[in-house]
Structure 1
Amino acid sequence: MTTQFYDRLSNDSTQLLESGVNYDVSIEVGEEVSLVNIYKVHSIILQSRSPYFKKKFDEITFNENHVKVLKLPNISVKVFNVIIKYIYSGKISLEKLKNSDTFDLLIASNEFELDELVEHLQSHLINNNSSWLRLKFAQIYRTSYQVKNFKIIRDFCSNTIFESENFHSLPEDVLISILKQDDLQLEESKIWKYLIEWGKAKNPTLPTNLDKWTSDNFLSLKKTLKECLPHIRYFSFSNEDVIEKIHPYQQLLEHQLFSDINIKLITPNKPISSIVLPPRNILNTILPTRITSIPLFSNIITNEHALEISSWINRKKIPCIENNPYEFKLLVRGSRDGFDIKTIYNICDQVSKTIIILKVKGTGEILGGYNPLELENYNDQWKKTKESFVFSLKTTNMKDSILSRAYHENCTIGNISSRPELSFGHALRLIGNLKTERRCCCEVSFEYRIQIRSKCSSFSVEEYEVFEILSNK
């Protein structure tokens, strides 16, 4: 049996990076001279982890100080910090990165030929930031189409863009590249439907009622779709779809093509002259439903956090790994709705099973509490339940999450809208304006025996969110 001590190895390697002792390479990162960061690193480590650095170091000679100097002006210090720590420690933290920074990190990781990281970052963006990918679709897809290793994101974009609100603004060349794909996981009739919608969006003066279209109207749409139409797999349509979907728009097609479509419909074995594109390779295997844990729109927690919270609600000793039994429905967000506790009572009145998540200002701590009981506006009272809990979540600075369940049911939830205050005993008290008043606190509590925060000092929050917990069943 082999015993592994990866954590110690990772920590020792990180200390070597931070100390710079016995370094033989100096990497200058950043374009502006005043903002350049210099990293003192070890060639043996970098070239063993990255083929890119091995090639670069082979091309560079030592200077008079027996140090090789490599300049990387086209990468940000923020991104390179993550990469160099990953190379030395095998660990990364994405919690403090903006979505755009994470995508830049993906591009840089590919350039440095860090295949493991490239795959992880693609999956992370899809699982945690799919709404952002859809928002920036054109940019993301163009990049992924040019980079062979970005297949995970490219496939995601190809199979979700048709239902995106940005679909109609898609550039023609990007749309064509999608239509060319043999493994596009969508029925041909639906692809046709979306293509027609895209063309109509480019011709806003077309009548909404197809019965009122003139030959000129069809000609205008045909010109718009000229480069796209050859990539539709017309002979993959069902007989019913030919009649219902293609026939109304037959004027968009060349006469011979439309004739051949009808010939195949009536006499499938008769030869035709039109080019027959192969049907798309749509997966027939029914895959288990994967339910994303949360918040495509949470500004604070990740899917992993949501799965952990769901395990606590469900009282599972082993955390959920991917299929979340609960949906997290966003009700309130501080930056959107306001930071006063009264706002929570106004919006969440009569709502039960809520989770409140807080990001502590200045420390990055993520705290929160689960309340299974109804929040009630204009009804001050201390409520009793043994199903509530408070917690602090694992972050960059927090090694493990802390869970503290209600130990004694008396006064576990403080529903005090007039003050206003929302409290979980004294373990987590939220008072007044969470952002400006600095009156929130975590104290020693009889109701919740485990302290979720070592500091008893008051704090304010950078952001907070309230979610209603709904069963996915």
Structure 2
Amino acid sequence: MTSEFFSKLSQNYIELLDDDSEYYDITIEVGEDPNVKIFRAHMNILYYRSPYLRRTLASNKKNNNVLSHIKLPNISSEIFQIILRYIYGGILSLDELKTSDILKILVAADELLLQELVGHLQNYLILNESEWIEQHFELTHRTSFKSNNFSELQNYCLNIIADSPEKLFNSTDFTSIPEKLLVPIIKRDDLQMKEVEIWEHVLQWGITQNPTLNADSDTWMDDDFNAMENTLKNCIPLIRFYSLSSKEFLHKVSPYKKLLNHQLYNDLLNSYMDPDYESSYDDNISLPRNIKTDMTIDSKIVNLNIISIVSRWINKLDNNSKFTYLRELYLPYEFKLLLRGSRDGFKPKEFHELCDHKNNTVTFLKIKGTEEIVGGYNPLTWDSVSGWIQTQYSFLFSFKSKSNLENAFLSNVEDIDKAIVCHIGAGPCFGDLKIGSKISLDPSGSLAAGLNFNVVYCKQKYYEKKIRDSEDKFLIEDYEVFQIIKKK
């Protein structure tokens, strides 16, 4: 059996520290004039408790009978007194200290390479002083980046900024922060800020680092652009330019095109202008940031990312489907579920009862045995008898899966007279996308509408592009029809 008596041991070492009348063999000068104070201590204890002091003592060996002396000008006497008691007795009482002093202890502990204390203080601040950190965020944030050993406090501050970017970007000293504070936050996928606003703030920061630059880029010469490009060389690659709308690109990026890689700028321009353009830019293109939203979608088939893409197509914001998945989340509509096959049935009868005479509908079909999703947009209404309906605004689409948005496909109507088909024996049919049942007659000789959908296929004819490689019939695992309603 092993017994431990650390409490008494700690007490004895504290008594040794307090009784500095004899046995000490080193003096430590802390602080700067006029606030310098001399502490008496014992080399053996300092040597084994602090790697920094061990290294300092090893490089400043004195001859016998010569008192060792070291200086710590970056640490105040009040802070060093607290740390010295920790070094001797392993005791640290934080409850009665100001939180600002705890930050100073953290910095001093790091200088002395007291890693146990550095870790403890970071955890204490995060768990017990979150309110103070919120109120003194700029100080805490700057302090957290004074050392790579403050990673826990750094991450805590970065998480706060990601959720509340205004704490950094709207602060009075934003433009004076060092690059090492700016880069980690604009790297974040979860930074809750529109990309164009991030770009504008980065430009503002860059201009401030070059005091001779005029804020109006129209006045810049080539040397000015070169200076700005050099300042922002580590920031520009972190801006997700593909997330911007065409309008934002035109007004906010084009004036600064000389700051961007020539190929990147051309790719961006063509992504907005050419519906058939394919990127040749080799660098990996970052996806949009994960912006939080209160909106939800009542769907078993699609998610908000797909809803955003389809909404962009409805509003004609992107005519090149190859880049739509890179744009920011766009949710101007409420998607009201009218029908779900697995809930309401797969027969034409249920479709017409639930969806007829409702305009602006989007249909999603999940193809059985695959992850593939196909569908279409009808700006008009469904009914049972109209046959072919004319519109120039309908379109078809396909996604390889709910998560694979890179290969999203858009096909606009080409023959507007054959855009939509309404029939009693069919579901939501578009010119090239048929969803129906084999025609049969009931005992009275009338057309029956009671069979499940068993004739479903995509065959390119009236729309501009194929949305599936195969034109064979397929089965649907589920399908949903939504009415879109403009948000107020």
Q: TM-score, normalised by structure 1?
A: 0.45
Larger Rg: 2
Q: TM-score, normalised by structure 2?
A: 0.44
